[in-house]
Amino acid sequence: MFDLLFTDSNFIQRFMDIRKIIGASSTSWQSEASGGMKRTLNYTITINNPLIGKFSTATETQTLYKESREGQYYMIDAEVYTHDVPYHDYFYTQNRYCIIRNSKHKCRLRIYTDVKYKKQPWGLVKSFITKNSWSGIEDYFRHLEAELQEEEAELTQGSGDAGKTGGLRRRRRAYSRTLQEHIKPGKQYSTDLDQQRAGTMGAMDIKNTQHRWNITSIVFGMSLILFVLVVLNLGLFYKLWAMEDVAHRMYLNTKTRMKERAESSLAPDLGTRQGMPHRSQEEAHLLRAVLQDSINLLEQLRSSLVVLQQTFQVYNRSSSQL
């Protein structure tokens, strides 16, 4: 099983061709200081989701733990990073493969998988990533399960044991959404070996997703959200434009009023300074006219008093003669 899945075997090459995985290249297994081994794969996957795209490059890093024992059991962690899908820098998928030997010609493959987040997106984006990621994971491992069963049937027929092909057992279990229970390899393998001694057999553990989003519903929901955002942006633009127009009008009115006030306050001062000599001459002429009229009135009063005095004198003379 290890040679089928984690080497450049004919099975994995055929499986990639069926999955339309192209441009695959891999490094050889390299030893690490921790005692394990690691290799890296690069390939391009075909995506059947119009919301995501048609193709995406991917990098898969596979780590073989040092607790593995050749021909007995293996534990491999595979981290898959996609580079050309929406929000690809937010998440990656982590798969743990546990291969345990049951007998000379039989083994059990258990797979634990999870979607890991490098940074937390907001709610709607996280739901979009989770639903589409688990949909792709389910499709991938269902296909892998079917191909492994066909490979098992061919090997069984080739060994002259064709009558047993109809009795292949399939057992499904839910995907493990977290890998915290499987971080300690020794504990996991001891549990698996106990189950092996009890004679239990199983196929791959594939999660049967209960709730899958309908693509039409997703497209409709996103279109509705985009429409609401466009309407809100148009409303905001109109309000900003109206506020700018009102502010411009207020500025022009204020500027005009200030200009008129400045002109009205400066005009009397300038008129006083420029017309001061002219006004002084007019006031002098007016004062002279008033004084001349006063003199004339005084002269008339004096003449009247002189005439009155003469009249009294004539009257007194007439009275004395009588």
Coil vs helix vs strand at 182: helix
pLDDT at 16: 93
Encoding tokens for residue 200? 């239990």
Residues 29 and 8 sit within 8 Å (Cβ to Cβ)? no
Residues 41 and 59 sit within 8 Å (Cβ to Cβ)? yes
Q: How far is CA 246 from the centre of its chain?
A: 33
Which range, of 45-54, 182-191, 251-260, 309-318, averages the lowest pLDDT? 182-191
pLDDT average, residue stretch 41-45? 94
56 inside domain: yes
pLDDT at 229 over 70: yes
Q: Which range scores top for mean pLDDT: 123-127, 199-203, 283-287?
A: 123-127
Pairwise CA distance, residues 282 & 271, whole Å? 16
The predicted-structure confidence for 160-182, as pLDDT tens digits, reads as follows: 554 444 444 444 444 444 444 44
pLDDT higher at 113 or 104:
113
The predicted-structure confidence for 288-309, as pLDDT tens digits, reads as follows: 776 777 777 777 777 777 777 7
71 inside domain: yes
pLDDT at 189 over 90: no
- 46 - beta bridge partners? 55
Pairwise CA distance, residues 142 & 134, whole Å? 12
pLDDT at 228: 75
pLDDT at 163: 46
* E strand map for the chain: 22-26, 30-31, 37-49, 53-64, 73-82, 91-101, 107-117
pLDDT at 104: 81
236 inside domain: no
pLDDT average, residue stretch 36-58? 89
Number of structural domains the chain divides into: 1
Residues 175 and 207 sit within 8 Å (Cβ to Cβ)? yes
308 inside domain: no
74 inside domain: yes
Q: Which range scores top for mean pLDDT: 85-89, 162-166, 264-268?
A: 85-89
pLDDT at 234: 76
112 inside domain: yes
202 inside domain: yes
88 inside domain: yes
Residues 137 and 93 sit within 8 Å (Cβ to Cβ)? yes
Residue with tokens 């990073």: 81
pLDDT at 21 over 70: yes
pLDDT at 205: 42
**Residue 101's domain spans which residues?**
2-213
pLDDT at 265 over 50: yes
For residue 111, count CB atoms less than 10 angstroms from its CB and return exposed for 0-12, middle for 13-18, buried for 19 or more: buried
Pairwise CA distance, residues 166 & 78, whole Å? 32
